[in-house]
Chain A
């Protein structure tokens, strides 16, 4: 089923999506927000540029965007897949608890902020290009992978990554010598076990966007983890 988003408000467009079959395609998308919010069991392809909060609270649906996406992609997402054949704006995967987000190009500020994991739910964000500042702030769980396939001499990660990080793992590909990490996180070269953890997601990334998986050498990944189990403590005294 093809939905023409031209001149449609976000609520009209979303209503069409609720009423659509399990597989739908949106054409002429131009900034409509909240597309597929809370959607459980559909697969949606989007031509154009969806607006903010694409797939917010997503609960199992799949979204494929042939273009860029804006801010807050997959906000508080619980399950499902979002694939963006372009760049995304800020706060992708905010407070995401499950599911996968794949971005071919670059991502803005605050990627994966306060992402968390729970039992079998381990959210994953794979960014093909660079990411902006404040990567993985308050990270509590899940995996963020930044591949830097288009670094064009710019840094892989912007300023102030990992502030308040207290769980999860971040995988960065290539040279990270220019990145300044806070004192409460730890960096090391990925081991085989680490690589095994992200290999399926890197493989899917390559399938989605037509990369050769062999270009990613496991040893070139750096793993960032928080120091200790509860590093983000402030000492209180009972009063």
Chain B
């Protein structure tokens, strides 16, 4: 190899030879072929350059002989040129390629959730113990009537536009079959049914085996329209039009032909080996009026039985965009922040395009309220919701519910090694290789997702109870329940919250 092309391995696999029994489990578990047995020395060895730090070998080693550490071999310290920045130059100079990354933006920009603090009742009003008192976490997503309508006989007209009913204000965000495995989809689908929430097909169509989970499925329509047909539209509980994604606003997707095999080809309804290209825009949507047309074409095709979600990435003018979407006939707006996950996105776009979801959400909620159209739509936010406190803060900032993607994958075993696009996920999540997919047992996957959201729901109830609030409805947009720390005046203004101490 040309020394110019050599990149110092990112990780170092450290083996405790006192514990290693040469059982070769690590070798069998590693789809990256990092481990191998050296017959000369009769020991297990490792090619560090192949290690992605997915921790599979660490977790499966029967004697716990392995650990993976960041390689401390470094360039000369430079506050401007980080090791990563230097290595990226080498990669591009050597390949001429666009840098491609997986999972959400890992940069150290502020996480506003961590600068918001939640209120609690003391003395002047009672907190509520969720163990002994009813606590409502159920939400309905969809257009709400702005006035009371009575029938001619004086009774209340209770006809509502279609709503999604969630037992917990958290849903699994769009991840396509193709980007994640059959077993991952099955885990999400079954968990959604058990939890009374929804998962989202992403833009890759819906596998025929999962039609039975339709009542807990959101089907997505993206610019490539893969797998979109009448049955698909009708089987879902709601239809999501994907206009954009937080990890890569403004660009489309490209699942290479090599990954369009077997079931993935069937589900996307394109031939095996054919590239699945999702163009950046929908070529029939160049304006809010056009969006309205797409929304109503879907409503007509599904007889007005399904709420229509429009998913947009959080970008600079998001408040104005959301105002347009709220007038387009959409029932729900999904906002995806710049930290949102992805199977693959150009690094530069992922790390530099879009805005934080916290600011976008606050701006959108305020704008829709100011314009008197907040009840036209529900707001769902994603793009890094990491725990139940993030959910509570999001709702207090004005969201109706949250989408989680990365958190759900972590529950399934993901170690955030960020190499999804290689298709060699050792945890059976972001891969289509049968021998890897079977490592994810959908029974266990489903159980872990149910555990996660059950725990979050309990925490949400405790946080709400502490505030003296017994219903999610009373928390939504209740920004008095939040205070800011480490925020400047402009940030506080946009978030619409007071500083701690005020």
Contact = CB atoms under 8 A, between A and B. Distances in A.
A76 interface: yes
Interface stretch (A30-38, A143-151, A173-181, A185-193): A30-38
- Among A11, A118, A164, max chain B CB count under 10 A is at A118
A53 interface: yes
Interface stretch (A21-29, A91-99, A197-205): A91-99
A239 interface: yes
Contacts of A72: 284, 293, 297
A125 to B, nearest CB: 15
Interface string B196-232: 0000000000000000000000000001110011100
B258 to A, nearest CB: 8
A78 B231 CA distance: 10
B297 A114 contact: no
Nearest to B88: A239
A121 B229 CA distance: 12
A167 B274 contact: yes
B270 A116 contact: yes
Contacts of B229: 57, 59, 76, 78, 97
Nearest to A35: B300
A121 B271 CA distance: 11
A40 interface: yes
Contacts of B69: none
B99 A239 contact: yes
B293 A52 contact: yes
Interface in A27-61: 33-34, 37-38, 40, 52-53, 56-57, 59
A116 B269 contact: yes
A14 B300 contact: yes
Given A37-B300, A164-B279, A230-B275, A235 B98 contact: yes
Nearest to B422: A238
- Among B97, B228, B233, B274, max chain A CB count under 10 A is at B274
Interface string B248-280: 000000101100000000000111011101010
A140 B422 contact: no
A113 B284 CA distance: 10
A69 to B, nearest CB: 14
A136 B419 CA distance: 34
B101 A239 contact: yes
B52 to A, nearest CB: 10
A237 B91 contact: yes
Contact of A110 (B100, B230, B283, B421): B283
A237 B97 contact: yes
Contacts of A167: 271, 274
A57 B283 contact: no
B313 to A, nearest CB: 20
Given A18-B303, A33-B296, A38 B230 contact: yes
A138 interface: yes
Contacts of A137: 283
A71 interface: yes
Contact of B228 (A33, A76, A121, A233): A76
Nearest to A11: B300
A214 interface: no
B269 A97 contact: yes
B96 to A, nearest CB: 6
A33 B283 contact: no
B347 interface: yes
Interface string A59-77: 1000000000001100110
B100 A95 contact: no
A130 interface: no
A71 B344 CA distance: 34
A132 interface: no
- Among B296, B301, B304, B347, max chain A CB count under 10 A is at B301
A166 B270 contact: no
A47 B99 CA distance: 54
A121 B91 CA distance: 42
A118 B271 contact: yes
Given A95-B225, A236-B98, A75 B297 contact: yes
18 contacts: A34-B297, A37-B300, A52-B293, A59-B229, A76-B228, A95-B224, A116-B270, A117-B271, A140-B274, A166-B275, A230-B257, A230-B275, A233-B256, A235-B96, A237-B91, A237-B98, A238-B421, A239-B101
Task: Sort A-B residue pairs by CB-CB distance and give the 10 closest, nearest first.
Answer: A237-B97, A38-B301, A95-B225, A236-B100, A37-B300, A239-B99, A34-B300, A59-B230, A37-B301, A237-B95
Interface of B: 88, 91-92, 94-101, 223-225, 228-230, 233-234, 254, 256-257, 269-271, 273-275, 277, 279, 283-284, 293, 296-298, 300-304, 344, 346-347, 419, 421-422
Interface of A: 10-11, 14, 18, 33-34, 37-38, 40, 52-53, 56-57, 59, 71-72, 75-76, 78, 91, 94-95, 97, 110, 113-114, 116-119, 121, 137-138, 140-141, 164, 166-167, 229-230, 232-239
Given A233-B256, A237-B98, 17 more contacts: A38-B234, A56-B301, A59-B229, A71-B284, A94-B284, A116-B274, A121-B269, A140-B270, A229-B273, A230-B257, A232-B275, A232-B277, A236-B98, A237-B97, A237-B99, A238-B422, A239-B99
